[in-house]
Amino acid sequence: MNIAERLQELRKKAGYSQEQVAEMLGISRQAISKWESGQGNPEIDNVIKLTEIYHVSADYILLGQESNAIVSTPEKKPLSKEARKAIGIISIIAATAIITVLFIIALGLMAKYVL
């Protein structure tokens, strides 16, 4: 199966018309038709968009095979002592500000009812 056949198969499996795919990519329906008839191939930026539309890899679109590469996620690094200290200080300042605002509101309400 070549690229043209894969593109047509993916579009049909997804239940889209050529017009719908063209609209999603911001191109003409004729461009989709050319890709699917083998008269042209999508540019790389459109291949990337097609991977998102069809939920397949670029390897599948271009080569007909899924990538077996394992993508590792970086490990979370613990926060440094300075960062933890800064977060603590910010939390204390924020809590103090909230308490101050609530106190001012309470004083205002008390003054309203006392006078």
pLDDT in tens, 62-86: 998 876 555 555 677 788 999 999 9
**In 3-state terms, what secondary structure has residue 100?**
helix
The structure tokens listed for 107 are 């004083």
- Give CA–CA dist 58/45, Å, rounded: 11
Fold for 3-63, please state it.
434 Repressor (Amino-terminal Domain) (1.10.260)
Question: Which pLDDT does position 68 carry in this prediction?
Answer: 57
Which of 51-60, 79-88, 104-113 has the lowest average pLDDT? 104-113
Structure token digits, residue 56: 């397949």
Q: In the chain, where are the structural domains located?
A: 3-63, 79-115
One-letter amino acid identity for 51? T
